[in-house]
Chain A
Amino acid sequence: MTLHLAVALDGAGWHPAAWREPTARPETIFSARYWAAQVAEAERGLLDFVTIEDSLGLQSLLADGDDDETGQVRGRFDAVLLAARIAPLTRWIGLVPTATTTHTEPFHVATGIATLDHVSGGRAGWQARISARGSDARHFGRRAFPPLDGLDADSPHVRDLFAEAADAVEVARRLWDSWEDDAEIRDVPTGRFVDRDKLHHIDFTGRFFTVKGPSITPRPPQGQPVVTALAHARLPYEFAARAADVVYVTPRSTEQARDVVREIRGLSGEVKVFADLLVFVGDDAAARKARLDELAGAELTSDAAIFTGTAGELADLLLDWRRAGIEGFRLRPAVVPDDLKQITRRLTAELRARGAFRSGYEAGTLRGLLGLARPASRYAEAS
């Protein structure tokens, strides 16, 4: 059985000094071709999907507020638009941009992701993310957030943000279902373009917003694009179990992988559990990491486990974690293009040699690649 493999794209890679590597092309980071080349490389490696990071404020080393750092990548595109820009240039690979649930309109996010699904022929996903930072809230000026001192997952503030995120995903799924698949009829004798009985108000009312519906956008090719979320603790696990199709978790050992899978399985039998790993791959992995750490002036830290080693060693680790119940991996290349190419060319070859990775794309949609069924509209039975 094929193991699911994704890469997380952000800046010049996940090491803060990655952009200074000779192979990096940081001067083109604010161009479409920079990102298109990375996604093309991932597709060449037959990966399931790429994610694209985003937030509603500049990257920062601080828990809350902008830093004045000038030696690291600062600045990002809107990830949904970037994914759409790349969609026509690719054919098979899933495109999973980040969109924040906190300050955005659920209606706009839902129709944006649905549109990405239409323009990509069924390859859209969504990494749903909260924004707890007061500095982001000040970009909108509509809500006052308490100062954030680290992410205290149990504060009422953060609990509310996850509750709101769950509502946003619920609204999106209802909007995606609000047009039944066969709503467009073009019936000339009666003059009807649509069968209005197959278009549905969603009538969502929650603590944070109400949305009437239906969507302005016809049902996406996948029915519902794939919803994903990164989760490090109980509260986000609960959010992911309730709202997501794929959850990214961050164990640091096989034992922890087993534990987190057990915890999530206690919440949901359905969500697919992927592990995140920040990876330096190759014979020179450790040396490259040491050099970059020195350039950055600090040893690399990450919320995810950091791997340094050869593609063969990484393949061993992934298969070991798979035996612990992890169904797929989202790898964060330390340096683009170096570690990305190691993943797409060497790691995939190692996994294929062990019978654990595809040798060609077997499906044309992201749901198809992930083995997720296309859901029927929840409103279809009612009509």
Chain B
Amino acid sequence: MSRPRRRVHLAAHFPGVNNTTVWSDPRSGSQIDFSSFTHLAATAERGLFDFFFLAEGLRLRELKGRIHDLDVVGRPESLTVLSALAAATSRLGLAATVNTTFNEPYELARRLATLDHLSEGRAGWNVVTTSDAFTGENFRRGGYLDHADRYARAAEFVRLARALWDSWQPDAFVADRESGRFVRPGGIGTVIHRGEHFDVAGRFTLPRSPQGHPVIIQAGDSEQGREFAAATADVIFSRHGTLDDGKAFYADVKGRLARHGRAPHELKIMPAATYALGDTEEDAAENAAVIRSRQVGPQTAIAFLEQVWGRDMSAYDPDGPLPDVEPDLTGEVAQGRVRLADRAAVAAKWRALAQEKGLTIRELVIEVTGRQTFVGTPASVARQIDEHVQAGAADGFILVPHLTPGGLDDFVDRVVPLLQERGVFRTEYTGATLREHLELS
């Protein structure tokens, strides 16, 4: 007896400001022109994706005290560009990563509700926290929150945002010319919130938005992050893209839902995924290797090494062997990116790997910075994606292309039709809102 096949959900990640976005390719377009955003969003909408996704960065990365210059850099303010994209699309969900550390609930809830109204119910919010005093130097709040406080603040932030979104009763806005009532008396509620992180009182400036609450996405992977997601989120943007890893994460997080009174389908798990296609498996593997060598150019290889070794390595040949010098564990070289927990251990591991496989610096960095999630012919990639979803390793994927803005064209043209043939992907949008695309209540 077979159970119905699970549906695959797909989202499009605008290429990020790190080395995975290849700018040296002649097809690489602008990272900031609005036409790049409309191109990728139109492709995602043509491919019937659930949503378009923007990451966040509030300070340019620095290396050795200077602005990192090797990677694509520069991005728009996320909610502003998504609001413009609402005019250029009609069904595609529009999701932004916006952190709770450097924003205030009343203002951000209002901006998200605005986007939900202006897109007729397509807004999503990836809730992140930042502990970084380096980023804080761009903000009034500045400062540092320790890890526990970050999630406490985020949880309280979301609770307060939801109270504000709910504060106009559904029938508050009447605009009745005859009676002269624009709003129903008593229809606009007052929110009074006295919490550990926020002290807010007053009335909200917008009627309940089409989705009621914009879709909440969560990306943290720690124990606290998983609990927060199980309690609060509609979607998890995870890093667990391989089959076994994905299954373990999926089972863990879905298993937490019952404790929060939620059913498994109420939280969708969508790992980030990269891919490389080819007409044959060999072509695809070669294409994957070409992409990865472009992602890790000679200077980028040295920069990766410097982050682990904590010292200037610019004198070393990227196409030569790993140097014998020991890491300097006192200095922190990189600012504005995820810190490496144990640099000594990472260095030892890299050295062993380079020795074992006879790798140059650049080959080593290519090796350790991860291969594409899916490599193969369109048929094979469609099969792999389907397998992940049917096996309970994911509800779908957030695809991260390596090229702006055409990086999803081949996927939409060649893989989506095969997912449709397999009967696991929509052939037209059946809903209007992002919640409906995601089959959330």
In the complex the two chains form, is B182's CB within 8 Å of A71's CB? yes
B60 touches A199 (CB 8 A): yes
A299 in contact (CB, < 8 A)? no
Sample of 5 more A-B contacts, CB < 8 Å, known A85-B84, A186-B24 = A71-B180, A85-B86, A118-B33, A119-B84, A216-B60
Is A313's beta carbon under 8 Å from chain B? no
- How many Å from the CB of A6 to the closest CB on chain B? 21
Question: Smallest Cβ distance from A338 to chain B, in angstroms?
Answer: 15
Separation of A32 and B72 alpha carbons in the complex (Å): 33
Q: A115-B80, A192-B69, A193-B71 are in contact. Are A19 and B175 (CB under 8 A)?
A: yes
**Cβ–Cβ contact B202 & A138, under 8 A:** yes
Q: Which residues of B lie under 8 Å from residue A78 when comparing CB positions? A: 110-111, 114
Is A46's CB within 8 Å of the partner chain B?
Answer: no
Closest Cβ of chain A to B4, distance in Å, is: 37
- B205 and A58: CB pair below 8 A? yes
A-B contact pairs, 19 of them (CB 8 A): A19-B175, A26-B177, A29-B175, A30-B173, A32-B86, A74-B183, A115-B76, A119-B80, A119-B84, A121-B34, A139-B106, A140-B104, A141-B199, A193-B72, A196-B67, A199-B67, A216-B60, A217-B32, A217-B74
Interface residues of B in 1-54 (CB under 8 A from A): 23-24, 32-34, 38
User: How many Å lie between the Cα of A210 and that of B133 in the bound state?
Assistant: 13
Complexed CA–CA distance, A22 and B66 (Å)? 61
Chain B residues near A214: list those with CB within 8 A: 60, 67
Which of A19, A31, A84, A103 makes the CB contact (< 8 A) with B80? Answer: A84
CB distance from A291 to the nearest CB of B (A): 13
- A1 an interface residue at 8 Å Cβ cutoff? no
**A26 contacts which chain B residues (CB < 8 A)?**
175, 177, 182
With contact pairs A88-B88, A105-B102 given, residues A216 and B70 touching in the complex (Cβ less than 8 Å): no
In the complex, the answer to whether A57 meets B81 with C-beta atoms within 8 Å is no
The 6 closest A-B pairs by CB, nearest first: A191-B299, A141-B199, A212-B137, A26-B175, A115-B80, A115-B76
Chain A residue numbers with a CB within 8 Å of B429 are none
Interface residues of B in 199-237 (CB under 8 A from A): 199-207
**Is A195 close to B, CB under 8 A?**
yes
- Whether B138 lies near A107 (C-beta < 8 A) is yes
Given contacts A84-B81, A209-B140, contact A184 B74 (CB under 8 A): yes
The answer, yes or no, to whether B79 is at the interface (CB within 8 Å) is yes
B383 at the interface (CB under 8 A from A): no
> Of the candidates A75, A81, A115, which one forms a contact with B115 in the assembled complex, judged by CB atoms under 8 Å apart?
A81
The reply on A381 being an interface residue by CB < 8 A is: no
CB under 8 Å from chain B, chain A span 143-184? 179, 184
CB contacts (< 8 Å) of A89 on chain B: these are: 87
Q: Which residues of A contact B104 (CB under 8 A)?
A: 103, 140, 142
Q: Once A and B bind, how many residue pairs between them come within 8 Å at the CB atom?
A: 212
Q: Any chain B CB within 8 A of the CB of A82? A: yes
**A108 CB, nearest partner CB in chain B, Å:** 7
Choose from B74, B84, B87, B168 the contact partner of A179 (Cβ within 8 Å): B74
A76 within 8 A of B: yes
Docked Cα-Cα span, A78 to B118, in Å, equals 10
Q: Does A70 have its Cβ within 8 Å of any Cβ on chain B?
A: yes
Which residues of A sit under 8 angstroms from B316, Cβ to Cβ?
none
Task: Report, as a range, how many residues of chain A touch the other chain.
Answer: 35 or more
Would B72 and A81 count as touching, CB distance under 8 A?
A: no
- B419 contacts the other chain (Cβ, under 8 Å)? no
Q: Which residues of A pack against B, CB within 8 Å?
A: 19-20, 22, 26-27, 29-32, 36, 55-58, 66, 68, 70-78, 80-82, 84-89, 103-108, 111-112, 114-116, 118-119, 121, 135-136, 138-142, 179, 184, 186, 188, 190-196, 199, 208-214, 216-218, 295
Contact A19–B75 (Cβ < 8 Å): no
Q: How distant is the Cα of A68 from the Cα of B399 in the complex, in angstroms?
A: 48
B79 touches A81 (CB 8 A): yes
B181's partner among A58, A70, A77, A85 (CB-CB below 8 A) is: A70
Say yes or no: A191-B300 contact (C-beta < 8 A), given A19-B182, A88-B87, A111-B76. Answer: yes
Q: Quick one: closest B residue to A17, CB to CB?
A: B180
Assess whether B59 is in contact with A216, with CB atoms less than 8 Å apart. yes
B205 touches A76 (CB 8 A): yes
Give Cα distance in the complex from A119 to B35, angstroms. 8
**CA separation between A161 and B305, bound complex, in Å?**
48
Contact B202 A57 (CB under 8 A): yes
Pair A82/B70 contact, Cβ less than 8 Å: no
Distance in Å: Cβ of A10 to nearest Cβ of chain B: 13
> Size band of the B side of the interface?
35 or more
Contact A195–B69 (Cβ < 8 Å): yes
Tell me how far the C-beta of B6 lies from the nearest C-beta in chain A, rounded to whole angstroms.
Answer: 35
User: What string of 1s and 0s marks CB contacts (under 8 Å) between B97-128 and chain A?
Assistant: 00000111011001100110110100000000
Q: Once the chains bind, are B181 and A141 in contact (CB under 8 Å)?
A: no
- B182:A72 contact, CB within 8 angstroms: yes
- Which residues of A have CB within 8 Å of B199? 141
Given A72-B182, A81-B118, A140-B104, decide whether A191 and B84 contact each other with a Cβ distance below 8 A. Answer: no
Chain A hits for B200, CB < 8 A? 138-141
B312 at the interface (CB under 8 A from A): no
Determine if A114 and B84 form an interchain contact, defined as CB atoms under 8 angstroms apart. Answer: no
Q: Which of B114, B297, B298 contacts A77 (CB 8 A)?
A: B114
The reply on B253 being an interface residue by CB < 8 A is: no
- Selected contact of A71 from candidates B60, B106, B117, B181, CB within 8 Å: B181
Within 8 A of A (CB), among B152-181: 168, 173, 175, 177, 180-181
Residues of B within 8 A of A141 (CB): 198-201
Most chain A CB neighbours (cut-off 10 Å) among B77, B117, B182: B77
- Minimal beta-carbon separation of B181 from chain A (angstroms): 5
Given contacts A77-B117, A212-B59, A218-B32, contact A108 B77 (CB under 8 A): yes
Q: Which chain B residues in 283-325 approach chain A with CB under 8 Å?
A: 297-300
CB closest chain-A residue, reference B299: A191
Per-residue interface assignment for chain B, residues 131 to 156, with 1 indicating a CB less than 8 Å from any chain A CB and 0 otherwise: 00000011110100000000000000
Q: Is B382 an interface residue (CB 8 A)?
A: no
Q: In the assembled complex, how far is the CB of residue B376 from the closest CB belonging to chain A, in whole angstroms?
A: 29
CB pair B118–A85 under 8 Å, yes or no, is yes
Among B75, B182, B188, find the residue whose CB has the most chain A CB atoms closer than 10 A. Answer: B182
Specify which chain B residues have a CB less than 8 angstroms from the CB of A139 in the assembled complex: 106-107, 200-202
Q: Least Cβ distance of A58 to chain B in Å? A: 5
CA of A75 to CA of B206 in the docked complex: distance in angstroms? 5
Q: List, in ascending order, chain B residues with CB within 8 A of A22's CB.
A: 177
Whether A186 pairs with B83 at a CB distance below 8 angstroms is: no
Docked Cα-Cα span, A106 to B33, in Å, equals 23
B354 within 8 A of A: no
Q: Are B73 and A190 in contact (CB under 8 A)?
A: no
Q: A186 and B106: CB pair below 8 A?
A: no
In the assembled complex, how far is the CB of residue A27 from the closest CB belonging to chain B, in whole angstroms? 5
**Cβ–Cβ contact B87 & A86, under 8 A:** yes
B181 touches A88 (CB 8 A): no
Residues of A within 8 A of B103 (CB): 105, 108
A74–B198 Cα gap in the complex (Å)? 25
| Chain A, residue nearest B190 (CB) | A66
Kindly provide the distance from the CB of A209 to the nearest chain B CB, expressed in whole angstroms.
5
Q: Chain B residues near A84: list those with CB within 8 A.
A: 80-81, 83-84
Closest-CB distance, A120 to chain B (whole angstroms): 8
Check B138 against A20 for contact (C-beta < 8 Å): no
Chain A nearest Cβ from B57, distance in angstroms: 6
Looking at the assembled complex, report how far the CB atom of B386 sits from the nearest CB atom of chain A, in whole angstroms: 36
Contact A74–B188 (Cβ < 8 Å): yes
Report the minimum CB–CB distance from B432 to chain A (whole Å).
14
Residue of A nearest to B58 (CB): A216
